[in-house]
Amino acid sequence: MIVMKSVEDVVKKYFDRSVTDRERAIFEGAVALGAIYHQFLGIPVCKDEGIIRTLEETISKTMKLQPYRESVEVKINADEIKGEKSHAYDYETLKGRHLDVKVRTKFGNTRAIVRMRHIPEIEFTLMYIEKMEEV
């Protein structure tokens, strides 16, 4: 049986020894953003509050399982999504521009706050490091 300490110790061996806690926090946050975009895009959605809330909650709870996540906040911009279903083909699928995601990761004494959201100025769903904190 592998106990908690040893798994994390095994993992540590694989990382370049020059990597700092701050860099590790950034690494973990960035993995989360890439994962969320490519896992959840394409899911059918409509402007129904209940459906949007449940989907936000699922993304948040499941992606928080990955290592060193403190929180995963997900906001789906309902304003950008088609209204409630009025006929059989009246819905759309989740796109990058619908998403506003903020992930907090913590490694050692450093917290990285990374974010993904649509930036109209460049018409791109940008992933970036919003803030670094010592804790």
Which member of 49, 79, 121, 135 binds a copy of itself (CB under 8 A)? Answer: 121
* Residues in region 5-24 near a copy of itself by CB under 8 A: 5, 7-8, 10-11, 14-16, 18-19, 22-24
Residues 84 to 103 in contact with a copy of itself, rule: CB under 8 A? 85-91, 93, 95-96
Would you call 104 exposed, middle or buried from its count of C-beta atoms within 10 A (0-12, 13-18, 19+)?
Answer: buried
Q: What is the nearest approach in angstroms of a copy of itself to the Cβ of residue 41? A: 4
Distance (Å, whole) CA 103 – CA 29: 6
Contact flag: residue 108 with a copy of itself (CB under 8 A): no
**DSSP secondary structure of 51-81:** HHHHHHHHHHHHHTTSTTEEEEEEEE-GGGS
> Does position 67 bind a copy of itself by CB under 8 A?
yes
**Residue 127: strand pairing partners:** 116
Rule CB under 8 A: say whether 83 interacts with a copy of itself. Answer: no
